[in-house]
Amino acid sequence: MKRSVLFGLFVTASLLASPSFAADKDLCAANLKTIENAKAQIPQEMADQVADSVKQAKADHAKGTKKGMDDCVAETNQTIQDLKNANKGGK
């Protein structure tokens, strides 16, 4: 329970702080860092899904285009939301 609360606070702080000072490229990198920091708390049944999502996001990020950055941000936001839901008993 304590880990879930801490994870939720960490993710919320990351999501709220990032857009206030970051462009899409930085938001993508910040989201990837948030996911990386949360690896210890990823449920085992989601590990492959998260790994695939991170791989796709990194490929989008590497494109360096506006669309690539938008796709990376969308992918990482969805992954973070899925992790939040899994940690509070959703899905």
pLDDT digits (tens, 9 = 90+) for 34-90: 999 988 888 889 999 999 999 999 999 899 888 999 999 999 999 999 988 887 765
Find all residues with CB under 8 Å of 20, minimum gap 6, and list them. none
What value does the mean pLDDT take over residues 10-33?
A: 69
Predicted local confidence at residue 74, as pLDDT: 94
pTM of the predicted structure, to 2 decimals = 0.70
Q: How many domains does the chain have?
A: 1
Q: Nearest 5 degrees, angle CA 22-CA 37-CA 3?
A: 120
Q: What is the residue range of 70's domain?
A: 2-87
Predicted local confidence at residue 34, as pLDDT: 93
| One-letter amino acid of 45 | E
Identify the three-state secondary structure at position 38. Answer: coil
**7 — pLDDT class (breaks 50, 70, 90):** confident
